[in-house]
A and B are shown apart, each in its own frame.
Chain A
């Protein structure tokens, strides 16, 4: 178990672990204002706004991490920051969803476009090359 004056901090994002270690104090940009978490804080769960998470380590240094949002979970001896790697906002997400839809629609619209024709030609070329090799091997082994 951690010493009484420190708290274990894990900062993880979907793409990897960012920080893991002990701290005397953690500050995080919670959705309703910045919060400071000291050891033996009451259990808390909050969403985060984009901003910086500050971790004060036992040797007196302070480390800064930028998070694009996410969530923070506080247990008496453990803080977990689930950081987003991307900026999240309702309209940004909405725009991304729209773009994904459009890509699908576009792909469906031009089923017979030049791309698929090029693909077909490439396939034909591949098949012809295979045939050639088979014939040559037959000749050699024949």
Chain B
């Protein structure tokens, strides 16, 4: 029976691949849930932080933090790009990079230079092939990113902003809309967008320890860090969702492939049997 053995071996191999993709799909599903929980857990901190910053700016209109002040001329911008460390997540990273390139082109058209900070190994691999200026990077954060792994990279960008090397700072990451949809999102980190101080319920002045200016800058720095942290966690949730969908498609495709090959295998087997029968019948007739 020529061919049947080879087809059988192929079917086994595809079945093994299917087992792997199915396992990856299930792992991604459970990791996605945990990442979503962490996304939710990060929210109260940012909200409370914004509230305090709102009170502070309201109480101290005379102190203008460099982080809050918009600059008229923009000669250079910084972008923090959050990507994944590993592939097999569909078009997730490609979409984020495309959005980043659009943003870069938009500002380059206004003759502003672009400086990058890359979070995630895929972003580093992609942008280093381009002629882009990379100031800092952080990768291999794992499925549970920690704020302490991001502090360094964010600080480089904050220092660059204070020194006037960049006049604006953006953040690009994959936004988790739902399990089926993740889309690239661009947000402005610096200068911090004017805060909505009007709907603060009460207004008072604080006792400060040490000075108000120092506290405000410290809080703004932490606020930006928490935003980048949120982006990193959201990106993990998006990565897992994208991988889940990609691996489900791969599992389904493997199933289709197996069915098709099974059909070919059956045909070949049947053909071999028919041929053997014909030979026997032919042999008997000759006798």
Question: Which residues does A use to contact B, with CB under 8 Å?
Answer: 10, 12-17, 30-32, 42-47, 70-71, 73-75, 80, 82, 84-88, 93-101, 103-104, 107-108, 111, 116, 119, 133, 137, 140
Do A100 and B137 have beta carbons less than 8 Å apart? Answer: yes
| Alpha-carbon gap, A96 to B151, bound state (A) | 7
Do A93 and B219 have beta carbons less than 8 Å apart? Answer: no
Query: What is the chain B residue whose CB lies nearest that of A81?
Result: B48
User: Digit string of B4-18 for contact with A (CB within 8 Å is 1, else 0)?
Assistant: 000000000000000
Do A71 and B215 have beta carbons less than 8 Å apart? Answer: yes
Q: How far is the CB of A40 from chain B (nearest CB, A)?
A: 13
Do A119 and B45 have beta carbons less than 8 Å apart? Answer: no
| Alpha-carbon gap, A74 to B138, bound state (A) | 35
Q: List 18 A-B contacts (CB under 8 A).
A: A12-B44, A12-B45, A14-B42, A14-B45, A14-B225, A15-B146, A15-B147, A47-B214, A71-B219, A73-B48, A73-B55, A82-B48, A82-B52, A82-B222, A100-B117, A100-B155, A108-B128, A137-B257
Do B159 and A97 have beta carbons less than 8 Å apart? Answer: yes
Do A86 and B128 have beta carbons less than 8 Å apart? Answer: no
Q: How far is the CB of B189 from chain A (nearest CB, A)?
A: 15
Do A45 and B48 have beta carbons less than 8 Å apart? Answer: no
Chain B residues within an 8 Å CB radius of A86: 146-148, 151
| Alpha-carbon gap, A96 to B48, bound state (A) | 26
Do A100 and B45 have beta carbons less than 8 Å apart? Answer: no
Do A100 and B209 have beta carbons less than 8 Å apart? Answer: no
Do B209 and A103 have beta carbons less than 8 Å apart? Answer: no
Do B155 and A93 have beta carbons less than 8 Å apart? Answer: yes
Do B147 and A14 have beta carbons less than 8 Å apart? Answer: yes
Do A43 and B125 have beta carbons less than 8 Å apart? Answer: no
Query: What is the chain A residue whose CB lies nearest that of B216?
Result: A45
Q: A31-B210, A107-B128 are in contact. Are A17 and B44 (CB under 8 A)?
A: yes
Stretch at the interface among B94-102, B191-199, B200-208: B200-208
- Cβ of B2 under 8 Å from chain A: no
Query: What is the chain A residue whose CB lies nearest that of B226?
Result: A14
Chain B residues within an 8 Å CB radius of A88: 151
Question: Which residues does B use to contact A, with CB under 8 Å?
Answer: 38, 41-42, 44-46, 48-49, 52, 55-56, 117-118, 124-125, 128-129, 134-139, 146-148, 151-153, 155-156, 159, 204-210, 212, 214-215, 218-219, 222, 225-226, 229, 257, 260-261, 264
Do B210 and A32 have beta carbons less than 8 Å apart? Answer: yes
Q: How far is the CB of B153 from chain A (nearest CB, A)?
A: 4
Q: How far is the CB of A84 from chain B (nearest CB, A)?
A: 7
Q: A45-B52, A104-B136 are in contact. Are A82 and B146 (CB under 8 A)?
A: no
| Alpha-carbon gap, A97 to B155, bound state (A) | 6
Do A46 and B215 have beta carbons less than 8 Å apart? Answer: yes
Do B156 and A101 have beta carbons less than 8 Å apart? Answer: yes
| Alpha-carbon gap, A27 to B264, bound state (A) | 76
Do B118 and A104 have beta carbons less than 8 Å apart? Answer: yes
Q: How far is the CB of A28 from chain B (nearest CB, A)?
A: 11
Do B152 and A100 have beta carbons less than 8 Å apart? Answer: yes
Do A45 and B209 have beta carbons less than 8 Å apart? Answer: yes
Q: How far is the CB of A101 from chain B (nearest CB, A)?
A: 5
Query: What is the chain A residue whose CB lies nearest that of B230?
Result: A14
Do A85 and B148 have beta carbons less than 8 Å apart? Answer: yes
Listed residue (B139, B148, B208, B215) with the most chain A CB atoms within 10 angstroms of its CB? B148
Chain A residues within an 8 Å CB radius of B117: 100, 104
| Alpha-carbon gap, A111 to B128, bound state (A) | 7
Do A45 and B152 have beta carbons less than 8 Å apart? Answer: no
Select which of B118, B125, B151, B210 is within 8 A of A47 by beta carbon: B210
Query: What is the chain A residue whose CB lies nearest that of B132?
Result: A108
Select which of B52, B226, B260 is within 8 A of A73 by beta carbon: B52
